[in-house]
């Protein structure tokens, strides 16, 4: 596959991030030929490999760490939550060093050329309360109230992550009542009680 033909197919995807497999399917070429073409473009600094099987255009204005998220998991969804979601919603000003994600898969760290992603396992019954960023974005994100409760949920676990926050700036429409409703669906009674106590403490100090 020539440099020019593969660039044509990349442009027709209309997004900065793509996989080797989908580009091969879209172009009708083999995975081997597609990979060779992408490697050539990488040497020319036109594209770069984000992680295994995932590529991005160099210099694209649409490229961001969050744009990579839908391509990190095969057949599984993950949504931005915890500290990263609180930052994107404007509740925390400090920019997180890693992008924090909620998933039903096992907790792990994913290193890529564009960002590091910290994936935290959420119980299937608690894997809800998210939607597309700003209603039409390319990645899923927790609602502000659910992101906060997700933090408190994880803070009760073994590693006690997200138990302490930088300064929180709750906007007028943030609903502690809605946050309490999310706490109620936590199936583990011990965790649910602990999360409720932590949420009550935050409400008293806000």
pLDDT of 27-72, one tens digit each?
888 999 999 999 999 999 999 999 999 999 999 888 999 999 989 9
7 by DSSP, 3-state: which?
helix
Which CATH number describes the domain made up of 3-57?
Answer: 1.10.10.10
What does DSSP assign to residue 100?
E
pLDDT at position 26: 87
Residues 77 and 140 sit within 8 Å (Cβ to Cβ):
yes
Could you tell me which of 123, 112, 186 has the C-alpha nearest to residue 149? Answer: 186
pLDDT at position 126: 94
- Say how far apart CA 38 and CA 159 lie, in whole Å: 40
Contacts of residue 93, defined as CB under 8 A and 6 or more positions apart, other chains included, come to: 87, 166, 167, 169
What does DSSP assign to residue 81?
-
Domain limits, the chain: 3-57, 65-205
């Amino acid at each position: 596959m020539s440099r020019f033909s593969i660039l044509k197919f990349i442009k027709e995807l209309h997004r900065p991030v793509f996989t080797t497999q989908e580009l091969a399917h879209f172009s009708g070429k083999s995975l081997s030929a597609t990979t060779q073409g992408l490697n050539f473009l990488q040497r020319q600094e036109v594209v770069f490999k984000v992680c295994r099987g995932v590529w991005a255009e160099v210099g694209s204005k649409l490229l961001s760490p969050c744009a990579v998220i839908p391509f990190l998991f095969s057949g599984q969804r993950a949504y931005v939550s915890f500290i990263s979601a609180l930052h994107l919603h404007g509740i925390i000003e400090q920019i997180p060093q890693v992008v924090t994600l909620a998933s039903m898969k096992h907790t792990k760290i994913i290193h890529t050329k564009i960002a590091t992603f910290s994936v935290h396992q959420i119980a299937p019954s608690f894997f809800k309360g998210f939607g597309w960023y700003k209603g039409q974005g390319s990645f899923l994100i927790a609602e502000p109230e659910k992101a906060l409760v997700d933090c408190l949920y994880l803070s009760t676990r073994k590693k006690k992550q997200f138990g302490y926050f930088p300064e929180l700036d709750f906007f007028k429409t943030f609903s502690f009542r809605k946050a309490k409703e999310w706490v109620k669906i936590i199936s583990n009674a011990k965790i649910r009680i602990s999360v409720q106590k932590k949420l009550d403490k935050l409400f008293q100090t806000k």
